[in-house]
Structure formats: structure tokens, C-alpha cells
Chains A and B, each alone.
Chain A
Amino acid sequence: MAITLTENAAKHVQNFITKRGKGVGLRIGVRTSGCSGMAYKLEFADEVVGDDIQFSSHGVTLLVDPKSLTYIDGMELDYTREGLNEGFKFNNPNVKNQCGCGESFGV
């Protein structure tokens, strides 16, 4: 099992990291939000932390903490454009339900 990026997403991530000027990769995770909901975390990573699990996808390093991995294992990130908006889309096979816009979810 792993976390992966689509080729397009990887291209964008690499581009963003280059423009940002620093960073070892992308940190992906979940955190609890409210009573039973969870929310995704998507951040630049400046360093690898102790128990980080690392994946590599199309040359981009992805860092996930072990706790989060349970909830997002097998997930693929895509980068898409919707109308004038653009950003990362999370295709998470673990999701059982999510709020209207998909920003928080349950497993």
C-alpha cells in the first residue's frame, strides 16, 4: 500500500517546491475535526520528522505520519482544474462519507 500522486499532480508539486525555494517534499495527513469528522492536511515539508513514513511518487517525496496512514492508505492525489478554481483532489478509498464539499470526511 502507498500514497501516490498522479503525474500531473507531481509536476505541480515539484513546480511549487522549486518556486518556494526550499522543502524536502509534501506532508500529507489527517487530523480530527469536531466529534467524528476528519480533515486532510496538505503542507510543504521542510524536514523529515522521526516516525514519518516516506513514499516516492514520480520523483516527489511524500511524508505521512503513521497514525494518519491508517485513514489514507491507498490514496491518490490528483491536480485538477474546475472552472476558475484549481487544486489538489484526494481520491481516498477509505472514505465512507464526506461533507458536501469533501473537505472533511469520515471512515
Chain B
Amino acid sequence: MALLQISEPGLSTLPHQHRLAVGIDLGTTNSLVATVRNGISVVLNDENGRAMLPSVVRYLADGKVAVGEAAQAMQSEDAANTIVSVKRFMGRSLKDVGEISRLPYRFVDAAGMLQLRTVTGVKSPVEVSAEILKVLRSRAEAALGGELVGAVITVPAYFDDAQRQATKDAARLAGLNVLRLLNEPTAAAIAYGLDNAAEGVYAVYDLGGGTFDISILRLSRGVFEVLAANGDSALGGDDFDQRIHCWLLEKNHLSALSPQDTRLLLTHARAAKEQLTDHAETRITAVLSTGELIDNVLTQPEFQELSQNLIQRTLQLLRRALRDAKLNVADIKGVVMVGGATRMPQVQHAVGEFFGQTPLTNLDPDKVVALGAATQANLLAGNRSGDEWLLLDVIPLSLGIETMGGLAEKIVPRNSTIPTARAQEFTTFKDGQTAMSIHVVQGERELVSDCRSLAKFELRGIPSMVAGAARIRVTFQIDADGLLNVSAREMGSGIEAAITVKPSYGLSDAEITRMLHDSTQHAQDDMLARALREQQTEAEQLLEAVQHALEQDGDLLDQSVRSQIETKMNALRNTLQLTDHPAIKRAITALNDATVGFAQARMDKSVARALAGRNISDLEVES
């Protein structure tokens, strides 16, 4: 028989309905979904056996949305409506995103987070990401045969609160329950920590499609502690493509290409980069829309030189992370390589040289994050008890509030482990001041204008007193996802105000509602399909159960009742051929009603059997 697990009070599952949870690596270039099946973390492939879903979304004129390979194939032809590397725009304003002129999109600036104008309307990066997540969600539900209870989604350690919140919103829009956001390097450490179970200090070097993360982790007694995290949320494999792209422009004396040609050359640049992983040289040929022919040979040493600055930049951040952790290169016991871009030989070589040791690459660098996330999701979904991990994470940037003169006063310094709570006292600036504005900022700079504004709120009703007499305690609380709650309390009167950040790009609930509404058409199809499948399954189970009961206890029935039940069974079998789920439901109800008396009779019989041979006084003693 099946092995059951203990559930929380009131949460035990119905037979065959287990808590299916997945880990999702929502990557800049590719996204993956993984789950724990039979105790092992595995990546779920699509029907064609492909694990990686290109993080590309194309909006078509007829309102349809293509995601993945299909969208990627049209990247050059329909550049403006085909959104690539949308992760770079999550929670970001136009000002945050550099090199806009090189991107083939029609940007719309909006408060806090930019938006993209497509053939089917203006889309927020949250909506675009949700399309990717929806595909992964339905892939997982098909593979696991049921509805997901939740997902762990990974984010770069360097993501600020706005970017984390945007990721959570995208998941919500895709109908996913986020169990937790997990830093990508931490997920990789979980995957490696489990497989190798080696104690010591490790560096996780994660060069993905669009983000670079370096994390210094200490693994001891099964606990992962992030000693330091650093990185650049705008540096990754895409930049290597850009370098090749620029090289092609220079070589061919080109400037100001059309968006289509830009995408075309970038696609060729990416292919060339991948070729150079195990080839000494590669030839790039393309025909531009102007009819111009591109035909160049790029060698590994040339590519190495083109990309040297990018690699140096990663090493710089690496040094800084080591400094933050107060460690030397010699303290690092192992180096974990994550992200497809770490397949580039020049990257492996440079990292190996920096640490004076060969980096670990025994897990697929594209899958390692998803695998670790799945392990964590399985744990959080309550499918595993015992040997839990305590994940100590750190906040990547300091959090604080604005004080007089536009200065940022740090309350939670960066690299503080989370979850955490810190408090500091402030006072009033003017005599009789009855309100105080609290402006929550994130960043390392001294001036508020150089930091990222996260939220603003007001504490009102402060009793009138002389300047400096009020004692206002501001408390910062950060949960395990890195999301922030700030409260202010005037100690004398006890008045209080608080805010949950809700970062300043501010997707309001109304906007979320609108987006959810926009997606209902698709959701309705899903819902109908699910309802049909559920009714069919229920009908089959019921038919089987009644059949079984008839075989065993048919003698309890008289012929007329029996034939009535059989008629209802046939009626139900007939509805199964149709796709009309309400009809199936009606037939199920009819059969259930017809068998009520039978079920009662069987119950009486079995109770009588259970009580046979015992007398009433025994029962009384026991109860």
C-alpha cells in the first residue's frame, strides 16, 4: 500500500491528491521547472523532451501569445512584439535599464516600472513573465497529473525588493502560489550540498543569461549560511552576445540597424558563442534586410579578448564579495559554477585561475538552480518532514529611511541575515510637529536621491511637544522571502503606522485585478478542461466502486432496486463519451442518489460484522 505522511491538523489529503510542488528557475534566457519525485529532484521536460524553455514571449496580432521556441523562432522577424530577456525589466524603470536604444522594443515609461507596447497592447514585464510561468505551470501539472500547491521561484541574490515583488506578482498572475522566493546561488548550494554533503566555505559563481551573482556560502552541519552576496543584475551571457554583435558591426562598418537586423545578428552572435565552447573558431554568415552579406570568422582567442572586460568585471565583484565575507581566496574550499554562460572555456579558465582550483561543474549548470529550488519546494509544501534545512540568507542592499537633508539613515545594513528585525529611534524636528513622513529607501549611498525609493508612509497624531522630545521607534522586519515590513510608533502615546513594501513601482491591487481579468479568457478554458477531467475521473471511480459493491453485496438488494442502479450506471457510462461536464455531474448525482439505500445497508452489515461477538459493556468501558 501507499506510504502516507503526517499532515498538519485538517490538512490531510484525499487519496491520490498529494501536495505537488515545484521549483522554478525563472531565468533571463531560459526557464526551467523541476520537482521532487520519489525522493529525487528532477527537471521536467516538455513533450519534446526539452528541459529549457526559452524565456521569450511573442504577442501576436490575433491576441494569441507564443512562448518559448515558437516565440524565439520569430525573434528576428517580429522583434518589437517578441520580448526577450524580460527579467531585466522586472521592477525597473526606463532610467534603470541602460542601452535602451539598442533594444528593439517600444518602451512606455510608467511610474516605477517600464512597460512595453506590443501589437496586443501595452504589457508590463510582470505580465510577460507570467506568460512564461503559465507555460511552466501547465507543463508541471501535465507531468505530475494534478494541480500544484505551490512553487519556489528563484531570483538573483542581488534583486532588490521591487524586483522581488514583481516576481511574486508575475507568479500570482500565472496562478502560482509562491511558497518562497529563493536566491539562485542558495538554490545551487542546496542542489550541490545534498549531492556532495561536504562542509566548508564555497563560492557560487553564477553567470546566467542576464545576471551575474557571486555568493560566498558556508555549509556546515547541513546549514547553508550566505556569508556575502554580490553581483550585477545587468551582466550575463547576453552581454557576450552583445560583444560579438558589436564586433560584427565594426568588422562590417555598419551602424543603426533596423530592429529586425539587430535581432538577427544577436541570434547569430549567440550561436557563435555556443559554437566556441568546443570549437576553436566559428563562421558567422547572415544576410541583412538591406541585402548586405555578413560573413566573418571569429576565433576563440579573438572572442576571449572581446569578452575580457566582462570576465574581469565578474572577478572584481568576486573580490568585493570575499572582502565582505572577510575571507581570502585560500579560504574557499570549492567553487560551484552555475548558469549556461559558465560553459565558456574562458570563463572556467579565469575563475579557475582566480581561485587556484578547478571549479565544480558536475551538475548541469543550466539545471542546478531549478533542482535546488525543487528540493526546497518539496520541503515547504510539507511533503517531507524531518531533516529540514535552515536557510540563512542575507539582504543584498542596506535598508533605511530618509532623514533631514535628504540623507539615508541605514537601519538594516547589507549582508544582514534574514529573517531579521531591527529598530531605531528618531525624533521630531520642529516644535509642535504632529506628523512624520517615513520614506523607506534601499541602497548603499548616503544621499536618498542615489538610493532606491521603496515606500513612503506617514505617522500622524503625534502629541504636540517641543522639537526633539518625541520618541519615534521605527522597526524594520524582513521575512524569509526578503520582503519588508516597516512600522513606526510614537513611544509616549503609542500611536502607530506601518507599511508592507509594496515597492514604489506600485502594481496596485486594481492593476493586478485588471491583469487577472485580462487572463480570464484563457483561465476559463483551463477551468472547463479541468472540470471535465475531474468529473470523468470521479465518474470512473464511482462506476468501479458501485460495480464492486454489487458483486460483493448484491444479495442485499431486491431486483427492482438493482436494475434501477444498473440503469443509472449505464446512463453515466454514456455521458462519459461526451465532453459535457455538467451532464456527467448530473449522472453521477443520479447514481449516488440511487445507491444511498444500498450504501446504508452495506454499512449496517459491516458494523454488525465488526461488533459480532462483543457485548455492549465492552464498548462502554472503552469509550
Q: Chain A residues in contact with chain B, CB under 8 A?
A: 1, 12-13, 15-16, 19-20, 26-27, 33-37, 39-46, 51, 53, 66, 70-71, 73, 80, 82-90, 94, 97-99, 101-104, 106-107
Contacts and interface: CB of A to CB of B under 8 A. Distances in A.
Contacts of B622: 1, 53
Contact of A35 (B15, B39, B599): B599
8 contacts: A1-B622, A12-B386, A19-B385, A34-B545, A36-B549, A42-B4, A53-B623, A87-B3
Interface stretch (B5-13, B423-431, B490-498): B5-13
B404 interface: no
Interface in B180-237: none
Interface residues of B, number: 39
Contacts of A106: 548
Given A43-B7, A44-B9, A104-B15, A70 B2 contact: no
B542 interface: yes
A20 B382 CA distance: 11
B11 A101 contact: no
B1 A103 contact: yes
Contacts of B591: 35
A5 B153 CA distance: 38
Contacts of B7: 41-44
Contact of B4 (A33, A45, A88): A88
A49 B106 CA distance: 62
A42 B3 CA distance: 11
Given A43-B8, A107-B610, A89 B40 contact: no
B42 to A, nearest CB: 12
Given A36-B549, A90-B1, A98-B1, A43 B542 contact: no
Contacts of A15: 386
A70 to B, nearest CB: 6
A36 B546 contact: yes
Given A34-B545, A51-B623, 19 more contacts: A15-B386, A16-B386, A27-B9, A34-B538, A35-B542, A35-B549, A36-B545, A39-B15, A40-B4, A41-B7, A42-B7, A43-B12, A83-B39, A87-B2, A87-B4, A87-B5, A88-B5, A99-B15, A102-B2
List the 3 closest A-B pairs by CB distance, nearest first: A102-B1, A87-B3, A84-B39
Contacts of A71: 610
Contacts of A104: 15
B16 interface: yes
A88 B14 contact: no
B487 interface: no
A66 to B, nearest CB: 6
Interface in B1-57: 1-12, 14-16, 38-40
A84 B384 CA distance: 12
Nearest to B2: A101
B602 interface: yes
B307 interface: no
B520 interface: no
Nearest to B37: A84
A37 B546 CA distance: 10
Interface string B551-564: 01000000000000
B258 interface: no
Nearest to A95: B1
A39 B546 CA distance: 17
B12 A85 contact: no
Interface in B564-611: 591-592, 595, 599, 602, 606-607, 610
Contacts of B552: 97
Given A1-B622, A36-B546, A103 B15 contact: yes
A2 B12 CA distance: 22
B610 A73 contact: yes
Contact of A44 (B3, B6, B607): B6
B4 A35 contact: no
B519 interface: no
B479 interface: no
A35 B545 contact: yes
Contacts of B388: 19
Q: Which of B2, B8, B14 has the most CB of A within 10 A?
A: B2
Nearest to B606: A107
B11 A39 contact: no
Contacts of A51: 623
B268 to A, nearest CB: 45
A31 B5 CA distance: 16
Contacts of B11: 43
Contacts of A12: 386
Contacts of A45: 9
B541 interface: yes
A84 B3 CA distance: 11
A97 B12 contact: no
Contacts of B10: 43
Contacts of B5: 42, 87-88
A90 B1 CA distance: 8
Contacts of B16: 101, 103
A86 B548 CA distance: 30
Contact of A42 (B12, B548, B595, B602): B12
A99 B385 CA distance: 26
Given A53-B623, A70-B610, A37 B545 contact: yes
B195 to A, nearest CB: 14
B386 A36 contact: no
Nearest to A41: B12
A34 B540 CA distance: 11
Given A44-B7, A107-B610, A89 B14 contact: no
B9 A66 contact: no
Contacts of A98: 1
Interface string B149-173: 0000000000000000000000000
A101 B6 contact: no
Given A27-B9, A43-B10, A45-B9, A89 B3 contact: yes
Nearest to B10: A43
B391 to A, nearest CB: 16
Contact of B38 (A20, A42, A85, A103): A85
A85 to B, nearest CB: 6
B40 A43 contact: no
B385 A89 contact: no
Contacts of A99: 15
B468 to A, nearest CB: 44
